[in-house]
Amino acid sequence: MHKEAAIREPLILGHKTYSDITEDVCRPIEGKAPRAWYIMFGISLLVGLYGIGCILYLLGTGIGTWGLNKTVEWAWDITNFVWWVGIGHAGTLISAVLLLFRQRWRMAINRSAEAMTIFAVFMAGLFPLIHMGRLWVGYWVLPIPNQFGSLWVNFNSPLLWDVFAISTYLTVSVVFWYIGLIPDFATIRDRAKGALSKKMYGILSFGWSGRAKHWNRFELVSLVLAGLATPLVFSVHSIVSFDFATSVIPGWHTTIFPPYFVAGAVFSGFAMVQTLLLILRKGMKLEAYIHTKHVEYMNIVIMVTGSIVGVAYLTELFISWYSGVEYESYAFINRATGPYWWAYWSMMTFNVISPQLMWFKKLRRSLLFTFFISIVVNIGMWFERFVIIVTSIHQDYLPSSWSMFYPTWTDIGVFIGTIGIFFAFYLAFARYFPVLAIAELKTIVKISGESYKNGTAPGHDDHGGDDHSGGSAAVVEAPKAEEAAPVVEEKVEEAKEEISEEEKSKRVSSLIEKLGAGNAENKDDLKKISGVGPKLEETLNQIGIYSYEQVSKMTDNEYDLLDSITGTFPGRAKRDDWAGQAKELMNK
């Protein structure tokens, strides 16, 4: 089996068997929801309903209920849209980009991050629809034959590209997420006790049975979808930035927008993932799967993307001066010193300074601090969009039309409402869906699980340690007498060898402990040590000895251990002085 370097921190803490993983993820779904869940869900639902009320009022009365005016014709609506789309970028980044890079830590967080993505994109999609004012003719954004002559949508416009980008992104994310969910729904279905839940999860799981061919297809489909979703993530926010960048408004038409928006999206998306996961892991007792290391990895992503955003802000400032275009310069001077200076400087503080604190290991490994920063970043990124949109247009070419934007209660209600709906969706997800990718975690537990890495895991053949004998008994009872099926509960013979297997693995791990773990990637040619042939080299590699450095640390004690494991050529290693030879080879 594939081995991971010993210095990497384990991704799953403690000792977890396959059924422990199933148990840990399914328990919160099968049990009763805690009071805190009902309280949070109730509040979110109320806020969400208030938001829906505001939207209905808006649709019934008109866009005039928002605080927009002739000069500031885009404000909170598009700010919220871009903010939500940005948040919706982390999930697919985690599940697609990190899948292509084979980052195993993604497996603990991808499911919930993708759920967050989908719900965030729902909220984002709402804003362009309602800001058109007449939701019932929303289908006009699609190129469909119509009664108005040859009136097609404009394929040259970034606003139309947005329609295609967002709808593609949403549907592909849903499919990607759901394909991963199916095997886990099957796990819940096969454990379900109640008739209703068995039926519901039976439908949701699509009749998944875990055949080898299906897994083969599953892995390819996941990989191809990841390959498709990766450029999609980048394209979506690039296209959102085109909404501004292809215009001629000073402060908007900058070529830096696409990369800067994508970095900002990842930045805010990861911040939201942190906010949600830090609560989720605590509430659902998943600390063994989502622990400090995961938080640290995500904080590093926040730090890097936050720095990119910071560089982009400064570049914008510099270019606005360097371009020599006075309107462009004015737009930026007005941002920093005009009536919206407070928005600009909160954006600068929250987005540029706060992620820099993550350079300190202590801070980026502190959960409380991370939670605080994640909220700060979320607020900062909202201000970023507000600054870009409102401050660029509120003082235009004609001073007589300069104005300010003041949100009305409908503006506020719609925004707060989407936060409520988002959390209601997310809480419902956490209650009824497997929040961790059960099947995927099982594939990494033996590679990245703590007990397997430090050798404290009991041998796999140890049936005595299996605390789920209840389930196993059920399987034995299953066949009916009339099937005439001879049930053989066979404990495999050769118990003696089993013990020696276990003993052997114990010896191997104690040997590796003394010599230090090796790595197949930087293996040395052990055949250069006289007395080691290709066969013996293979045996040594199997044990985990790859480098001269490891061999050089061997003493009489280790020679004996090695002999007892391999059982070949006793005393030979010592006679040939492998350690001495290895030391010489190392210094060559």
Residues 165-184 that bind another protein (CB under 8 A): 165, 167-168, 171-172, 175-176, 179, 182-183
CB of 485 to another protein, least distance (A): 4
Closer CB to another protein, residue 462 or residue 525? 462
Tell me which residues in 178-217 interact with another protein (CB under 8 A): 179, 182-183, 186-187, 189-191, 202-217
Contact 49, 421 (CB under 8 A): no
- Minimum gap (Å) between residue 23 Cβ and another protein: 9
Least distance from another protein to the Cβ atom of residue 11, Å: 16
Residue 149: Cβ within 10 Å count: 6
Q: Write the DSSP symbol of residue 531.
A: T
Q: Does 543 bind another protein (CB under 8 A)?
A: no
Alpha carbons 558 and 577: distance in angstroms, whole number:
12
For another protein, give the closer residue by CB, 150 or 400.
150
Please identify, using beta-carbon distances, which residue of 99 and 373 lies nearer to another protein.
99
**Both structure tokens of 345:** 């400087």
Nearer to another protein by Cβ, of 179 and 512: the residue is 179
Kindly state the smallest distance separating residue 426's Cβ from another protein, in Å. Answer: 24
Query: Which x/- pattern over 242-261 shows residues binding another protein (rule: CB under 8 A)?
Result: x-------------------
* Interaction of residue 568 with another protein, rule CB under 8 A: no
DSSP string, 360-424: SHHHHT-HHHHHHHHHHHHHHHHHHHHIIIIIHHSS-S-GGG-------HHHHHHHHHHHHHHHH
Distance CA 109, CA 289 (A): 9
**Closest distance to another protein from the beta carbon of 113 (Å):** 19
22 binds another protein (CB under 8 A): yes
Cβ atoms of 63 and 328 within 8 Å: the answer is no
Nearer to another protein, 195 or 492 (CB): 492
Residue 484 C-beta: closest distance to another protein, Å: 8
Question: What number of chain residues touch another protein (CB under 8 A)?
Answer: 87
Is residue 483 part of the contact set for another protein (CB under 8 A)? yes
- Say how far apart CA 57 and CA 73 lie, in whole Å: 19
Check residue 499 for interaction with another protein (CB under 8 A).
Answer: no
Tokens 């606005």 -> residue:
320
**Interacting residues of 95 by C-beta distance below 8 A, sequence separation 6+:** 106, 110, 113, 114, 176, 177, 180, 226, 229
Residue 428's contacts (CB-CB under 8 Å, 6 or more residues apart) are 41
* Contact positions with another protein (CB under 8 A) in 460-479: 460-461, 463, 466, 468, 471-472, 474-476, 478-479
**Binder of another protein out of 30, 73, 219, 556 (CB under 8 A):** 219
Considering the rule CB under 8 A, would residue 225 count as an interface residue with another protein? yes
| Token representation of residue 518 | 């090796």
Cβ neighbours of 435 (radius 10 Å): 26
Q: Which residue lies nearer to another protein by CB, 368 or 492?
A: 492
- Alpha carbon distance 85, 352 (integer Å): 20
Residue bearing tokens 């059924």: 19
140: its two tokens: 């006009």
Minimum CB distance to another protein, residue 165 (Å)? 5
Q: Which of residues 136-165 bind another protein (CB under 8 A)?
A: 143, 150-156, 158, 160-161, 164-165
- Which of 14-22, 281-289, 317-325, 346-354 is the region at the interface with another protein (rule: CB under 8 A)? 14-22
Q: In this structure, are residues 274 and 295 in contact, taking their beta carbons and an 8 Å threshold?
A: yes
Tokens for 575, please give them.
Answer: 């006679």
Least distance from C-beta 443 to another protein, angstroms?
5
Give the one residue of 237, 281, 394, 442 binding another protein; rule: CB under 8 A: 442
3-state secondary structure of 30: helix
Footprint of another protein on 330-349 (CB under 8 A): none
Smallest distance from another protein to CB 105, Å: 18
Please tell me the distance from the alpha carbon of residue 408 to that of residue 63, in angstroms, as a whole number.
Answer: 11
> Minimum CB separation from another protein for residue 40, in Å?
30
